[in-house]
Amino acid sequence: MNVLIAEHAGFCFGVEKAIEKAYEEIDTNVINGPVYSLGPIIHNHQVVEQLERRGLRTINEISDAENGTVIIRSHGVPEITYKEIENRGLRLVDTTCPFVKKIQRIVSEHHAKGHRIVIIGNRTHPEVIGINGWCNNEGLVISETHEVEKIPHDETLCIVAQTTMLIGLFQSIKNELANRIQTIHWYNTICLATQDRQQTARDLAGKVGVMVVIGGKHSSNTKKLAEVCKGYLPNETYLIEKYTDLPLGLFSEEESVGVTAGASTPKKAIENTVELLRAISTGDKWQIAIDGPAGAGKSTIARHLAERLHFVYIDTGAMYRALTWYIIENKCEMDNIDQIVTLAHSVRIDLKQDRVYLDGKDVSDEIRSLQVTEHVSTVASIKDVRKAMVKLQQKIATKNHVVMDGRDIGTVVLQEATLKVFLTATVEERARRRFEELKNKTETTYDEIKKQIEERDHADETREHDPLIPANDAVHIDSTRLSIEEVVEKIILLFCDRIKLNSRK
């Protein structure tokens, strides 16, 4: 896979300056009290979290700051906010980007002359709210070409744009207003960093099969970059916040992938994404094996993982159901073990995106029939059937990227898995989860379920064949205090780092 990076991608100078200033303030400012950022310093969770861990406090209102220093981020603020900061006796560190400052100045000057201010931008974006605050909030904000109808015909206009607007939108609004005879002062205030990023993203999207845009989901310039790329690759543009968001299963066959990033995306986020994309182009098939005791949440986690990564989830239960349905269809008696085993060896089962195919036919609905439910455990208890199914599971895993869960996946079924996880939780927590799941469906108590789980654990750990033991190279994850999303995120991070590490060898 050829991974190409846009010539202009990632941090712009305005964001870099804001971050630098924030670090400088929290690291060196020991005499001026706490350091606040009015709103998240940039639209990037990871960077904001890092700074907050170092001591930066994010506030939404000036009144939330009691003393100390307030940093105004690169988006800028309304004029009145400066007065509020002064009135509360707070120290001010202003990192408003010079491009934004220039717009505020233009707006303020034209407003003073009595001109009508029109701002092309997103009215809820902090930068636009800030700009409007320099003309007494009397500016008219428009974000679509058809909104030009709202612009009065009888006033002198001053038209500016949010710094991250699409240049195409600015031009089309200008064209729409071209035949007006009134005086219009036009200012193309889209910043150079935005224009460069959009142009080089456009150039790249025209050359590759897939585009990855990295940046915060709330970042205006990142969203605009994704829009630019979607103009070329409507279904092949992926907007991600971090490398663990990549739907890896969709990328492994790609020949060329382009990468760009918004102005608030750090260099490290781009490097990590590019390294992972390059690491997955080996043609290998990846396997994530999840083992663990009953009630640890294995199948839920495995399904979520498969969905996030676009891998095949090997649903062993569905496979046994498909075989049972096949046995019934072939009019084989349930006590004819030899014929059942023969059928188990001849059946062809495929799993694709939650659907189950038997000899090419989608049987996902048929395998849920009562008749199948009645016989499936008999079929699954036949040792030679289990052997045949393991072979089939291994075969599926050689042709697809897979996630599989069970009790002997890492030790028996997928011994060479890329990542093996042993998922646990305390007995109490597993019993609680099971109880929550069953309490409205059946009459049971928490204590009964807890007892069953303890007995099951004992049986699993002491059984003669393939007892429940973690593979030597399995990573242990205790999910007792973690949400499903946290466990999934943890496993994806481990998996991505494992792939990157393997590729460096």
User: Considering only CA atoms, which of 156, 155, 165 is closest in space to residue 103?
Assistant: 165
User: Catalytic site residues?
Assistant: 127
DSSP reduced 3-state for 484: helix
Q: Which stretch binds ligand F3S (CB under 6 A): 8-16, 49-57, 441-449, 474-482?
A: 8-16
Q: Which two tokens stand for residue 171?
A: 């031009």
Q: Which stretch binds ligand F3S (CB under 6 A): 9-17, 209-217, 335-343, 374-382?
A: 9-17
**What is the rounded distance in angstroms from the CA atom of residue 334 to the CA atom of residue 288?**
34
Q: Are strands 210-214 and 256-261 parallel, antiparallel or unpaired?
A: parallel
Tell me: does residue 119 bind ligand F3S (CB under 6 A): no
Q: What string marks each residue from 69 to 98 as x (binds ligand F3S by CB under 6 A) or -?
A: -----x----------------------x-
**What is the rounded distance in angstroms from the CA atom of residue 269 to the CA atom of residue 10?**
9
Q: Name the residue whose CB lies closest to ligand F3S.
A: 14
DSSP reduced 3-state for 405: strand
Q: Which stretch binds ligand F3S (CB under 6 A): 12-20, 209-217, 242-250, 388-396?
A: 12-20
Secondary structure of 110-153 in the HEC alphabet? HHHCCCEEEEECCCCCHHHHHHHCCCCCCCEEECCHHHHHHCCC
Q: What string marks each residue from 226 to 265 as x (binds ligand F3S by CB under 6 A) or -?
A: -------------------------------------x--
C-beta closer to ligand F3S: residue 13 or 435: 13
User: Considering only CA atoms, which of 193, 205, 199, 214 is closest in space to residue 276?
Assistant: 214
Q: What is the DSSP letter of 311?
A: P
CA distances 411 to 88, 167, 420, Å, are 64, 57, 9
Supply the minimum distance, in Å, between the C-beta of residue 231 and ligand F3S: 20
Among 81, 132, 163, 237, binds ligand F3S (CB under 6 A): 163
**What is the rounded distance in angstroms from the CA atom of residue 304 to the CA atom of residue 65?**
41
Supply the minimum distance, in Å, between the C-beta of residue 119 and ligand F3S: 14
Identify the H or E element spanning 314.
strand 312-314
Q: What string marks each residue from 187 to 226 as x (binds ligand F3S by CB under 6 A) or -?
A: ----x-xx--------------------------x-----
Supply the minimum distance, in Å, between the C-beta of residue 72 and ligand F3S: 12
Q: Which two tokens stand for residue 405?
A: 């869960």
**What is the rounded distance in angstroms from the CA atom of residue 388 to the CA atom of residue 378?**
15
DSSP reduced 3-state for 318: helix
Among 1, 5, 6, 12, binds ligand F3S (CB under 6 A): 12
Among 1, 8, 10, 14, binds ligand F3S (CB under 6 A): 14
Residues lying near ligand F3S in the complex (CB under 6 A) are found at 12-15, 74, 97, 99-100, 163-164, 191, 193-194, 221, 263
